[in-house]
Structure 1
Amino acid sequence: MRAGTVRDTAALILRRCRRAFGGAWLSAFWSDDMSGLVISGGRVVDPASGMDAVGDVAVVDGKIAAVGTGLGGAERVIDATGLVVAPGFIDLHAHGQSIPADRMQAFDGVTTTLDLEAGVLPVGSWYERQARKGRVLNYGAATNWAFARIGAMTGSNAESSLEAFGNAMRDRRWIDNVATDAEVSGVLERLTRGLNEGGIGIGILNAYAPGAGVQELTAVCQLAAAKDVPTFTHVAFMSRIDPESAVEAYIRLIGYAGATGAHMHICHFNSSSKTDIERCRVLIAKAQAQGLPITVEAYPYGTGSTVLAAAFFSDPQFVERNGTGYDSVQRVTDGYRFHDREELLKAQAEEPSSLVLWHILDTDNNAHHRDLLDMSVLYPGGAIASDAMPWTTSDGKTYTGDAWPLPDDATSHPRSAGCFTKFIREWVRERKTVSLLEGVRKCALIPAEILSQSTPAMRAKGRLTQGADADIVVFDYEKLSDRATFTAMNRPSDGVRHLVVSGQPLISDGVLDVTARPGKPVRRPVVES
């Protein structure tokens, strides 16, 4: 396109946007070289404004400049005729945090991927590393309570990682023991430092350290309240029977919210509640109705995933308390299912950081289990979040390489590739349990709103409105589908035709730009020491 044509087209867009939206604001965003992007003629679905209609979206300098009709051309035009144009999905719960993990999530419609349930430690150096190597998607993390505990109670100062987490489980002091006053002070000091370095909140992996005392956790929640940040909690217990049942864990969490004022976010509401989802759902709904600051997320699978060394697998009453046999625990790399407790304990000692699947709800064959999953996935005001795991190769090591497609032996839970597309396909398009507008709200706007009070950067995400960040997914609604399965885990999802991250096209006509690194950090303001 000749320079004069670009200039004339840009001027036409500017005139139309001025008439529709006010010229002063748009002029400030229109750059001198008249560059820009228009996504034209798509079904624009924006839960923030309630828009669900055919229209155009204009992008300038990484921001949405206008949404309307007849916006014309630009230096680059994406013809979205017959496609859905929506805010990019925001994943609050993604442990991959690497280029290969980002690429798989890009085809799942994700533009912002955050590790909040676990988080990282130290926080500052983690953000620096991501910036140095470049990221495909927008990224961010909470500060990690488990590693704060590991450091304060065992003296280890290892940086958080999947491998370091598995190795730390060999020293059970931080898992089983109530912390001393001095150790609690050490935990709080580490968490405070992480928050001051820009951590989005506090990730509390309570189930992995069930011995932690209520006094310590109360102090952690008081810190969160004082800093005005959420906690992202894997509840302490998940059993279907007392004592230490899922119900007890939720009563504790509700108590922390009421007693400290901390925003308590419940991670993977489905797998935390196991087969007791119905009872737990009633408790949380009542607490929310009373005004307590509690939010929830869920993923659309009945199978969970974690590290083999997780404390709950070694419970002598594992079968009775969970209603599943040891064969429900399956190693990710080779599909092997364990037979008994002795075999599992031996594997825990030898390969603590190996990833496993935990088959909890049989949604293929059990109608009641399907109903239970619906109760969590469709929870009013709840977000969809993947709990995406890192990709590992057949030797059990985390894959962080640059190959695309991923290596044939790269494995992970299918939710690492198809969480959001599965939700839209099954719950929205096929079963029609919610509208497309509501489905997008659960995948984009609700996650942004959960973080908007504490993290200013999130106020410009999850929406297609003037001034919002240009994080946009364009997909074929009729073809959008997850492809990853438990026997073929590394298949990217279908249907995402275009993905724009921070104003830069990442996927164009279904093809990934493997050189692109448009991801930007999502981070709270750093407090200078």
Structure 2
Amino acid sequence: MDVRKLKRRVCAAMAATALMATPLLAASAAEADLVLKGGTIYSGDAAPFVGDIAITGDRISYVGKKAPGGARRVIDAKGLIVAPGFIDTHTHVDSMITGDDATERLVLPFLMQGVTTAFIGNDGYGDPDTAKVLGSAAVRPVGINYAAYVGFGAVRTKIVGQDDRAPTAAELSEMKALVASAMCDGALGFSTGLFYAPQSFAKQDEVVALAKEAAVRGGIYDSHIRDESSYTIGLSAAIDEAITVGREAGLPAHIAHIKALGVDVHGQAPAIIAKIEAARAAGQIVHADQYPWSASGTGLSASLLPRWAEDGGRDAMLKRFDEPETLARLRPEMHENLRRRGGAVSLLITSGPDDLVGKTLEAIAKESGAEPIDAAIAILRRAPVGIASFNQSEADIAAFMKLPWVMTSSDGSIGHPRLYGSYARKYETYVKTNKVIPLRDFIERSTALPADAFSLQDRGTLKPGAFADVIAFDPATYAPRADFAQPALFAKGVRTVIVNGKVVVEDGAPTGVAAGRGLPRTSKAEACA
């Protein structure tokens, strides 16, 4: 455990001791707007206890055994777990949050499982116009809070395009300026998706140069690493690269959705853990997030095509399918990628043409009378499609989940049940049923840990003065309803959700209130003068 974490634990223990000894943890809440009464409170950084939480305006005004005075409204939380709203550090709900559809902007798949804050712009896709992204909530109300990354893919595409080449010196300067501007406008940090073209075409020194722009302005380096499997440099070397970028650029390194993907790397979790813990022991800040599913979500092209086949973008890729010599080179590499993914039965279409969604590549190949690779090429000719790829071992998932520096995430995107059920699934499957981690760890790694790691001021814990992002769920019934057959079903068991002091889920149903906010990171002023 690092010094900062140990200090926070000690302070939390002192606070918990004081709480047991006195009836109040804050000043009088006589004029509270709302009191959640009699729930089992998991504050995010202290031992649980039965008590009350009072809210005044958008802040928590009391946490303790019995709220003094009256309140305009009282919610009975007896028998429920009361916790900080969950913080999802890796999502793909950017278009939901900033789009035109007011109902989509509520982000109900998250609220209905207790997520009150999400990070967007992950995997290098973050719009460099951070001011526009974060300012969107002021004119288009949103249901949840959100922080935003500036993305390497978006920046590189804007300046260099989709080509497999290094940037010129002038282009690199332009990219650095985009990252710097985004950071000064409140970006959380610099995100990359080095597995995906065109980001995969970049060498490490290019990534370091851009990450430094985030570093001097107080940001985080978030990376979908270059290889989570055995596609190119391999899982171990890709972890080394992420750690190196963080060290050389001088900023915390965050490993996105940490995993060992594919049959070639199953069982490597202990070695990866040892590598990261060695970096942490040496004084570097490194942490990770994880979604609680054995199936990842990606595009069919990303899972099967070698990156050289995507050089120049989709149009160039389609032309290669029509070139016999290129296709002859391509097919063996696609076969190998399919093997490492576990075969055609392991790839489930989750988005794209309606007649394909819900079918495995194996089933589509049999229906068409084609070999799986030919079926895949035919699909890619039609349209880009999303897939769920069943490619992880439960032993690796559990090994990563037990670590105190691995926080919860969803990687939520349309078509995969993780959008609607990740937090509920982690509770039901890994806390309640399999007992991989205890309830307190689940809550703290979904709340206080990400708030601390990403410097979210006054969020992630239940304490007086903190923003009132609060949830109450039934420990007997909290569970996902979404699965791969029906991925768009709300979770069950969440009774109350409060965002910035407003009740947005009441008696297990959404109220329609949009109380979320954009959360700009405070950049270092001297670097933005």
Q: TM-score range by the shorter chain?
A: 0.7 to 0.9
From 467, 475, 478, the equivalent of 1:477 is: 475
Q: Is 1:232 aligned with 2:222?
A: yes
User: Deviations along 1:485-504, whole A, 9 cap, x unmatched?
Assistant: 00011111111000001000
Instruction: Name the SS for the 1:484 alignment partner.
Output: coil
In structure 2, the residue matched to 1:428 is: 431
> How far did 1:35 drift?
5.1
Spell out, residue by residue over 1:70-113, the C-alpha distance to the aligned partner (whole angstroms, 9 max, x if none): 21531010100111110110001111142537101111110111
* Contact 2:204-2:245 within 8 A present in 1 as well: no
Give the 5 Å matches for 1:87-486. 87-97=84-94, 98=96, 99-100=103-104, 102-118=107-123, 119-154=126-161, 172-173=162-163, 176-208=164-196, 209-240=199-230, 243-270=232-259, 275=266, 276-310=268-302, 313-314=305-306, 316=330, 317-320=333-336, 322-333=340-351, 334-338=357-361, 339=365, 340-352=372-384, 354-361=385-392, 369-389=393-413, 391=414, 412-452=415-455, 458-486=456-484
Where 1:20 maps in the other structure, the secondary structure is coil
Conservation of the 8 A alpha-carbon contact between 1:314 and 1:341 = no
* TM-fit CA distance, 1:307: 3.1
Q: Root-mean-square deviation (CA), in Å?
A: 2.3
Distance 2:260 2:213 in 1: 27
Confirm or deny: 8 A CA contact 1:116 1:202 kept in the other structure.
no
C-alpha distance in 2, partners of 1:137/1:63?
Answer: 16
CA distance in 1, matches of 2:300, 2:52: 48
Following superposition, the deviation at residue 327 of structure 1 comes to 4.0
Q: Confirm or deny: 8 A CA contact 2:341 2:389 kept in the other structure.
A: no
1:62 corresponds in structure 2 to 58
1:270 and 1:377 in contact (8 A); partners too: no
**Whole-Å separation in 2 of the counterparts to 1:138 and 1:265:** 20
**Secondary structure of the corresponding residue to residue 194 of structure 1:** helix
- The offset of 1:417, in angstroms, is 0.5
What residue in structure 1 maps to residue 99 of structure 2? Answer: none
Q: Alignment length, in residue pairs?
A: 449
Unaligned runs of 5+ in 1: 1-17, 155-171, 362-368, 392-411, 453-457
TM-score scaled by structure 1?
0.80
Instruction: Confirm or deny: 8 A CA contact 1:57 1:66 kept in the other structure.
Output: yes
Asked whether the 8 Å contact 2:221–2:246 carries over to 1, the reply is: no
**2-side partners of 1:21 and 1:327: how far apart?**
55
Cα distance change, pair 347–22 in 1 and its aligned pair in 2 (3 A): closer
Contact 2:421/2:480 (CA < 8 Å) preserved in 1?
A: yes
Q: 1:189 to 1:309 in 2, by over 3 A?
A: farther
Task: Report the Cα distance in structure 2 between the residues aligned to 1:103 and 1:57, rounded to whole angstroms.
Answer: 24
The structure-2 alpha-carbon separation of the partners of 1:183 and 1:308, relative to structure 1 and needing over 3 Å to count, comes to farther
Larger displacement relative to structure 2 (272-281 or 124-133): 272-281
Task: Give the SS at the match of 2:71.
Answer: coil
Distance in 1 between residues matched to 2:142 and 2:492, nearest whole Å: 22
CA shift at 1:429, angstroms?
Answer: 1.7
- Distance in 2, Cα, partners of 1:421 & 1:59: 25
- Give the Cα separation in 2 of the matches to 1:135 and 1:498: 18
- Counterparts of 2:429 and 2:289, CA distance in 1: 17
Paired amino acid for 2:150: T
TM-score by length of 2: 0.80
How big is the shift at 1:439? 1.2
Structure 2: which amino acid aligns with 1:75? R
The Cα shift of 1:250 comes to 0.9
The DSSP-based 3-state class of the residue aligned with 1:151 is helix
